[in-house]
Amino acid sequence: MNLDNAVWLLTGLAAVVVLLTRSRLSNEQSQAGHATVPHEIVNAHTLMGIVALGTWIFYLSSPGTTLGIVTLVAWWIEVAIGLLILGRWMARPSKHAADATGDSWGQGPGLSILGHVGMLLGISFFTWIVLADKMA
């Protein structure tokens, strides 16, 4: 697999994580077992994900150093917000959440950890792509 295909594959996975995270966080008010996250933070997380994804796709279509750096800033803000939300959930679940009752996405934070750590690794790879000027 060449580098361009790997980047586009990871871009698609990033889009899935952004959409699934939004879906899961917007439904958590009706589910026990999740830390309550204010809607403003959920909206900021989703908005940054959409901005980062949109600018990243534009960057991949027509690479430029300035656009790449702007896109990386958006991605890193997105990852930071996501990791802070995840950290809040994991730090004190008993303080912020009731016992889990049916979560159709899986029990506990496993899926969220996978998605957010995967995003951290993916955005680290995107950072290398931009800074090393690997996109032609």
- The tens digit of pLDDT for each residue in 66-119 reads 999 999 999 999 999 989 888 887 776 544 445 544 455 556 677 888 888 999
pLDDT of amino acid 136: 65
At residue 72, the pLDDT reads: 96
Q: Which own/partner contact pairs does 42-51 have at CB distance under 8 Å and 24+ positions apart?
A: 44/81, 45/21, 45/78, 45/81, 45/82, 45/85, 46/18, 46/21, 46/22, 48/74, 48/77, 48/78, 48/81, 49/18, 49/21, 49/22, 49/78, 50/18
| pLDDT tens-digit series, residues 19-65 | 887 777 666 555 544 556 777 888 899 999 999 999 999 999 998 88
Q: What is the pLDDT of residue 96?
A: 45
Q: pTM, whole model, 2 decimals?
A: 0.80
